[in-house]
Amino acid sequence: MNLEAKRLSSVTELPNAHNISSYSGFLTVNKKLNNNLFFWFFPALNNDKTAPVILWLQGGPGCSSMLGLFTEMGPFKLDDKLNLVANKYSWSQNYSVLYIDSPVGTGFSYTTDAMGFATNEQNVAEDLYNALQQFFKLFAEYKNNEFYVTGESYAGKYVPAIGFKLHQMSATSGINFKGISIGNGWIDPLSMLDVGSYLYQTGLIDKTQLNHFYDIQNKTAVDIKQNKYREAFDLFDQLLGGDVTSESYFTKVTGFHYYLNILQSNEPKGADDFAKFLNLNTTQEAIHVGCTAYSSTNTTVFTSLTEDEFSSVKPWFTTLIDNYKVLIYSGQLDIIVATTLTENFLQSLEWKHSKEYSKANRLVWKLDKGDTEVTGYVKRVANFTEVIVRNAGHMVPTDQPRAALSMIDNFIRDLPFE
């Protein structure tokens, strides 16, 4: 039965796919609610059957992991005519990569019951865990391979959630879980609120505007401490997010309509072209999703997790950093989860190597010894690696694909950053 299901999930009719083998389809993760998660799996291009398996999760909440596949680390990208072109810096070169549209309702994933949408990270983790159990039954030959959970942005919540679930179920999961990687991740809002100082130090706001940021940040912190997560969301949305507010204070005073890269005040053109490709009939037939309207973002998923946005996964993250390999990386040019916010979070952590981390030297990282330009900065303590990537915004693999590939290689294979 598994062999037949695997055969049916094989992607064989994708135009110009460069002979890249892949599998896609739906995993029913909750029969009662009819929750179905869409997956697209790419075995390692080097044909190494023992290569580590990487799960990639996008953020949002409500952003499809197809964004990562087509614009970050997938085996191919799209040209301006929506033709597939090979990505020479794909993580699939040396690893088998699994992309899942999560939570339910994101991308191609769907439910037919309004109760199927996740309202907290426990819901997210439960559906993902069920998906992984089914995936490793379908692809049992990969079950003993090392397994890493990775993601960026709001997946700073998802990754620790499913990671902690795997930790809890380690005796029975049958999954060889080794660690996590998070890029520009929203993990612990209380320690990650001070975006105002970053904006002031980079010249985007003045002292008066900084004081307004401080005022709202402090009020948001009070709400978080009182578990008033909806109120915290509303305050910060008016200040910076602009997801519900028509014009955030940030947009009003800076003129920026984009907060993923400090060098860009508007979203780059063509950023959502992959959605056009995924809405083509030929694409949808090839990846077994029937005929459906695909969107790269889902507002229902976003709205359902509104109160989750300012809750924390810090306790789960702490358990993971105490027991597994962890990589935290930041694009130096990001605004929404600026490098300094991640630094504040890491400094606030109490884990078994906290003292060593606080005293650890940060090294200058160059991809090649002869490079004149600095790639970034690295700090390593025990099983933990922190990387800051220069000339990259919120999506590091998009902006610096070669550096991102080298980084994930060094992390998984325990290689030095040189």
pLDDT digits (tens, 9 = 90+) for 283-304: 999 999 998 999 999 999 999 9
What integer is the mean pLDDT of 48-54? 97
d(CA 26, CA 35): 10
Q: Tokens representing 409?
A: 């290689």
What integer is the mean pLDDT of 115-133? 98
Least confident span in 8-22, 94-108, 366-380: 8-22
Do the Cβ atoms of 251 and 257 come closer than 8 Å? yes
Q: Is the pLDDT of residue 87 over 60?
A: yes
- Catalytic center residues: 153, 334, 394
Q: Is the pLDDT of residue 274 over 70?
A: yes
Q: Is the pLDDT of residue 122 over 90?
A: yes
Instruction: Find the largest Cα–Cα distance for the chain.
Output: 66
d(CA 214, CA 196): 7
| pLDDT number for residue 1 | 56
pLDDT band at 369 (very low <50, low <70, confident <90, very high): confident
Helix residue spans in 249-349 (DSSP H): 249-254, 273-278, 281-286, 299-304, 314-323, 339-348
Q: Is the pLDDT of residue 113 over 80?
A: yes
Q: Is the pLDDT of residue 409 over 90?
A: yes
d(CA 301, CA 60): 9
pLDDT band at 339 (very low <50, low <70, confident <90, very high): very high
> In this predicted model, which residue has the larger pLDDT, 270 or 55?
55
d(CA 202, CA 241): 19
d(CA 224, CA 228): 6
What integer is the mean pLDDT of 268-286? 93
CA angle 397, 149, 259 (to 5 degrees): 40
Stated pTM of the model:
0.97
8-state DSSP, 286? H
| pLDDT number for residue 236 | 97
pLDDT digits (tens, 9 = 90+) for 207-261: 999 999 999 999 999 999 999 999 999 999 999 999 998 899 999 999 999 999 9
